[in-house]
């Protein structure tokens, strides 16, 4: 029988709920690579497929473009499950691409990208976020992973899910149009035990939502923590910093870190700190404050312990809301996960040039990664991330796109202050 694997301590007061699979995928730009009409003819209406490039081993990468009935358009490639672009309207109806990324596969494979390693738009696994010293013990055995972030393992190791070629199947359903991505991670891949079968679906709905459903099964007990690593700029990618974006996070606690960004094990109250986003606050408003945690992260790069709404156990709950005052764009993030990593693009340094032809400079994008907590395999007081062979991993996150014109509708779902 399928069940949710993650049990939560009483302070979280919530469990994850099982989800249906189905998702929206994206496609390559028609102006750079023509659509193969022979293959596209079999695709559902509103979905197109085109070639995006070739890996060094000769395997082809496809890009899927999906458009909903309101004109919102998303493009996804099956390499890393990367969301290449996502176009949404501003207050005047002007469509802009609001995620950071590239139009060329070569850019994602370049040495410059590998050195910067920003994980633009990618699926992250087996384990999103950090594992201390790349090491954990499970069932009496110690496992050593590659250390690719100082002394720690970040986002699955040297070759995580973000660098794997996924099998893609487009679909159309009553919920929307999308793409189902599947990948099998063999026993021992990047040091993790168990053969893990992962299935992720992107669904673009006509309610202007992107629903991401994650499911996994394993042959042996193993840590699993899947997430999505899109960087958002609601002015449009390449249009300056995100410091004026107003952010609300429905969290009264966060997990402080040490100098290598590994949680100390404490869950700290956000009250009176730069980490209190329970009311809408400009991201840059307190960035310059003298604060040890901000110094360690060189800005925000921290996990927030989400506060679930009363009665919301087993259901999606609103985690965060972002508003960009100039464009009027609004992004709301709901999830079944207990945590949210807020990253303010601290290590973007202008060395990468995006789709707009503009360099991605310091803090030109923000990531909101729904997740279980960092280093959970080594932190007994955190919600467990161990998946066992008789269990099924389920998680769901929904990104909702709107503008401040629909303020009345959005306000009813805005995170409340604790």
Active-site amino acid positions? 229, 369
Place of tokens 């709905």: 205
Counted residue by residue, the chain has a size of 418
Determine if residue 93 is left, alpha or beta; phi over 0 gives left, psi from -120 to 50 gives alpha, anything else beta: left
SS3 162: helix
Residue 343: C-alpha distances to residues 40, 74, 177, 184, 369 (Å): 37, 22, 29, 28, 8
Beta-ladder partners of 353: 359
Selection from 102, 72, 351 nearest residue 237 by Cα: 102
CA neighbours closer than 13 Å in the CB half-sphere of residue 315:
7
* Per-residue tokens: 145: 């992973």
**What does residue 368 show for φ and ψ, rounded to 5 degrees?**
-125, 90
Between CA 363 and CA 284 the distance in angstroms is 10
311, two tokens: 């009665």
229 backbone dihedrals φ, ψ, rounded to 5° = -120, 45
Query: Comparing C-alpha atoms, which of 118, 117, 147, 154 is closest to residue 133?
Result: 147
User: H-type helices in 280-398, by residue range?
Assistant: 292-297
* 96 and 103 Cβ atoms separated by less than 8 Å: no
From the centroid of its chain, how far is CA 80?
12
Q: What are phi and psi of 276, to 5 degrees?
A: -90, 100
């Amino acid at each position: 029988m399928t069940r949710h694997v993650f049990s939560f301590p009483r302070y979280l007061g919530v469990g994850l709920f099982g989800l249906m699979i189905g998702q929206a995928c994206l496609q390559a730009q028609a102006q750079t690579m023509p659509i193969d009409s022979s293959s596209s003819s079999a695709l559902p209406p509103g979905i197109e497929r085109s070639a995006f490039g070739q890996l060094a081993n000769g395997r082809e990468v496809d890009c899927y473009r999906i458009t909903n009935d309101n004109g919102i358009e998303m493009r996804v490639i099956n390499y890393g499950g990367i969301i290449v672009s996502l176009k949404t309207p501003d207050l005047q109806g002007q469509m802009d691409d609001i995620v950071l990324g590239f139009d060329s596969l070569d850019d994602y494979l370049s040495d410059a990208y590998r050195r910067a390693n920003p994980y633009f738009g990618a699926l992250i696994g087996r384990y999103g976020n950090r594992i201390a010293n790349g090491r954990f013990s499970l069932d009496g055995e110690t496992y050593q992973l590659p250390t690719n972030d100082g002394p720690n393992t970040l986002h699955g190791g040297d070759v995580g899910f973000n660098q794997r070629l996924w099998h893609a199947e487009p679909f159309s359903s009553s919920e929307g149009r999308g793409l189902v991505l599947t990948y099998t991670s063999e026993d021992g891949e990047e040091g993790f035990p168990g053969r893990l079968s992962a299935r992720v679906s992107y669904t673009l709905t006509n309610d202007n939502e992107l629903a991401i459903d994650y499911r996994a099964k394993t042959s042996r007990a193993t840590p699993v923590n899947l997430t999505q690593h899109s960087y958002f700029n609601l002015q449009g990618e390449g249009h300056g910093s995100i410091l004026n974006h107003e952010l609300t996070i429905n969290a009264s606690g966060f997990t402080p870190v040490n100098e290598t960004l590994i949680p100390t094990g404490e869950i700290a109250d956000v009250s009176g700190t730069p980490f209190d986003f329970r009311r809408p606050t400009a991201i840059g408003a307190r960035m310059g404050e003298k604060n040890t945690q901000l110094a360690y992260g060189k800005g925000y790069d921290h996990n927030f312990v989400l506060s679930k709404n009363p009665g919301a156990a087993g259901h999606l709950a609103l985690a965060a809301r972002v508003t960009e005052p100039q464009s009027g764009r609004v992004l709301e993030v709901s999830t079944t996960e207990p945590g949210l990593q807020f990253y303010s693009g601290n290590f973007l340094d202008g060395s990468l040039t995006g789709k707009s032809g503009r360099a991605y400079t310091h803090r030109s994008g923000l990531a909101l990664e729904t997740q279980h907590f960092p280093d959970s395999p080594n932190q007994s007081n955190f919600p467990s991330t161990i998946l066992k062979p008789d269990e099924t991993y389920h998680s769901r996150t929904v990104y909702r796109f709107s503008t401040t014109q629909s303020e009345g509708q959005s306000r009813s779902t805005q995170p409340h202050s604790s």
